[in-house]
Structure 1
Amino acid sequence: MTDLHQKIIDLEAEIDALSDSAEQCRKSMVVAKVATGGGILLFAAALLGVVRSDAILLVVGIAATLAGTVFYGSSRSSFEKITEKVRAYEARRAEMIDRMDLRTVQDR
C-alpha cells in the first residue's frame, strides 16, 4: 500500500509541475498576442502615415507580427500537450486511489 501511496504522491508532484508549466504557457500566449497586436498597429500606423513612414518601422512591425504569431502558436501547442498530459496523470491517479480500497468514516 505504501508503494501505491508513493506513486500517487509522485503523480501529484508531476501534476503540480505540469500545471506550473501550463500557467507559463498561458502567460506566454498573452505576451505573444500583445506582440502581434503591437506589430500590426505599428505597421498600420507607418502605412497610414500616422507616424513617419520609415523602412525600419515597417520591418519592425512585420517582424513583431510574425514573431508574435509564431510564439503564440508554439505556446498554444505546448499548452495543449501539457493539458493532455495532466488529464492522463489525473486519470491514472484516480485509478490508483480507487484501487486502494479506502473505507469511509462513519459518524458515531
Structure 2
Amino acid sequence: MTDIHRQIADLEADIDTLSDAAERCRKSMIVARLAIIAGVLLVGASLAGVVQTDALVLVIGIAATLAGIGLLGSSRGSLEHITGKVRATEARRDQLIDGMNLQTVQDG
C-alpha cells in the first residue's frame, strides 16, 4: 500500500474513532436531560406536597438537576469539539484523494 493510501486509511480510522466518541457524547446528553427532568420533577413534587417533604429529597432533586446541567454542558462542548475535528479530518482526507488525480472509468 502506498504512503498516500496509508494516510487516507489512517484518516478514515480517525474519523470512525471520532464518530464513536460523538455518539457517546450524544448518549451522555440524553442521560443529562433525563437527570434534569427527574431532578426538576422531584423538587416540584416535593414542594407541591405530592411526595413527603424531606430535606434529603430536595437535596437529591437539586443535585440531580445541577449534575444534569453540568453533564449536558460538558457533553455539548465535547460534541462540538469532536464535530469540528471530524470536519477537519474529512477535509484533509478529501484533499489527499483529490491530489491523487484519479481518472473516471466509463462503462463501454
**TM class by shorter-chain length?**
over 0.9
C-alpha distance in 1, partners of 2:36/2:70?
9
Task: Provide runs of 4+ in structure 1 moved above 2 Å.
Answer: none
Size of the alignment, in residue pairs? 108
> Where do 5+ consecutive residues of structure 2 fail to align?
none
Aligned position for 1:4: 4
Aligned position for 1:80: 80
Alignment of 1:1-108 (within 5 A): 2-108=2-108
> Where do 5+ consecutive residues of structure 1 fail to align?
none
TM-score, normalised via structure 2 length:
0.98
Q: CA offset at residue 2 of structure 1? A: 1.0
Per the alignment, in what secondary structure is the counterpart of residue 51 of structure 1? coil
C-alpha distance in 1, partners of 2:2/2:98?
15
Residue-by-residue CA offset, 1:48-88 (whole Å, 9 max, x unaligned)? 10100000000000000000000000000000000000000
C-alpha distance in 1, partners of 2:75/2:107?
49
C-alpha distance in 1, partners of 2:102/2:9?
16
